[in-house]
Structure 1
């Protein structure tokens, strides 16, 4: 528990995390309101939930920053050492350190996803007359939370391998917000529908127009498997090499 509290304290001390929280709370709700004011926007069963998918950028940022911050040099008063040195001095067991880090990231991102869902879906209910959000949508909200958590852990696993946030942030955020490489690859092979970002959307989206229609459970299992493999590779690299 001490290791978990320490990791939560570190997360709350990182400016990047607070920027991500602001993005996660404002971006989906803001896009929802803008879409509602657009006369060309046609409401569907996924209105509000598609906007929450955009907010996963916040989860990615938190996952990356939680790991990359460990490898940043500290101030001159600490001799320019990195945070990871201090962290492993306090928690010598690398597996316990990673477990605490993972729990802190998952808990933070999960809570953020639930709060963002409440704000965004309330905005959807208020601004879209043809859309009604009710208790029947609770499983989809939990699906959003799982999608955000998986995305954060995926980003953290990649960052464990690279030891830098530049590559995972650039690749993952561009893939989400600018051009989806996964979607483009679906034009080449149907196997691309099983990439984590596309498979995971079946956790909460219901209007699927692709040739591969996964159930929410199947989509979650596919994304979870990707996370397990990539996070496992990152953990193995972290445990075996020098800090």
Structure 2
């Protein structure tokens, strides 16, 4: 079942957009921002050098999490607008809980591999471009970034499964992560907003975050995992009780 879901996910053109974006965006940002980073280093303004660029690559994980579900609910044709892939999937794998486990495992594997390659390449490229200032390669910190990517992919997976609409979910995620972060704005109103999933997860591998609330990496990981587990539980409950 996991192999089947993995093959299905990697057969989606939109998934490859997410893969390409996740793999290329962060290293490309290092190359583009190197002159600006040198100036920031001279003025003492740089923090988390080599890791702060990983944020843009998270869009790849979000896209993968969304399309893993939304592809199942896309209409199969104009002649049958009510028909979708999920009906066929459930005929082949009628145990819905097993289907969700297989989908989640396939998604986690793809996002984890993507995150490991991207995070390692980004940090190592930063060391090449700024050898005198880049921090040493820290496997534990890279692993934390990869875990954050994986949890975000599962978060997008769960929310898309709850609402059954990939366009709305993806739009909200993209706007919140690249245009204006509602979560970050909420931190201006209450420090508890720092524990929202997209904010708290970044504390797992970034040592300096905007705002006055500082969360230990282990605490951040536990809170992020709790968010994802709760949303996955809600998504699973709805999925097993709603018609296909």
Tell me which stretches of 4 or more aligned residues in structure 1 moved more than 4 Å: 75-80
* Matched residue, 1:160: 161
Distance in 2 (alpha carbons) for counterparts of 1:236 and 1:173: 26
CA apart distance, 1:153: 0.6
* Matched residue, 1:35: 33
CA contact (8 A) 2:27 2:121 kept: yes
SS of the aligned residue for 1:41 comes to: helix
Write the deviation string for residues 22-77 of structure 1: whole angstroms up to 9, x where unpaired.
10111101111111122543374511211112211000000000000000122579
* Matched residue, 1:232: 233
Distance in 2 (alpha carbons) for counterparts of 1:165 and 1:121: 32
SS of the aligned residue for 2:40 comes to: coil
Superposed, 1:1-16 pairs within 5 Å as 3-16=1-14
* Matched residue, 1:74: 76
Normalising by structure 1, we get a TM-score of 0.93
Count of residue correspondences: 240
* Matched residue, 2:190: 189
Higher mean C-alpha displacement, 225-234 vs 78-87: 78-87
CA contact (8 A) 2:48 2:206 kept: yes
Superposed, 1:112-151 pairs within 5 Å as 112-135=114-137, 137-151=138-152
Q: 1:95 to 1:130 in 2, by over 3 A?
A: same
Normalising by structure 2, we get a TM-score of 0.93
SS of the aligned residue for 1:5 comes to: helix
SS of the aligned residue for 1:183 comes to: helix
Distance in 2 (alpha carbons) for counterparts of 1:130 and 1:33: 16
Write the deviation string for residues 84-129 of structure 1: whole angstroms up to 9, x where unpaired.
0111111110000000000000110000000111221121111123
* Matched residue, 2:224: 223
* Matched residue, 2:100: 98
Unaligned residue ranges in structure 1 (runs of 5+):
none
CA apart distance, 1:156: 0.7
* Matched residue, 2:64: 62
Distance in 1 (alpha carbons) for counterparts of 2:101 and 2:70: 16
CA apart distance, 1:134: 3.2
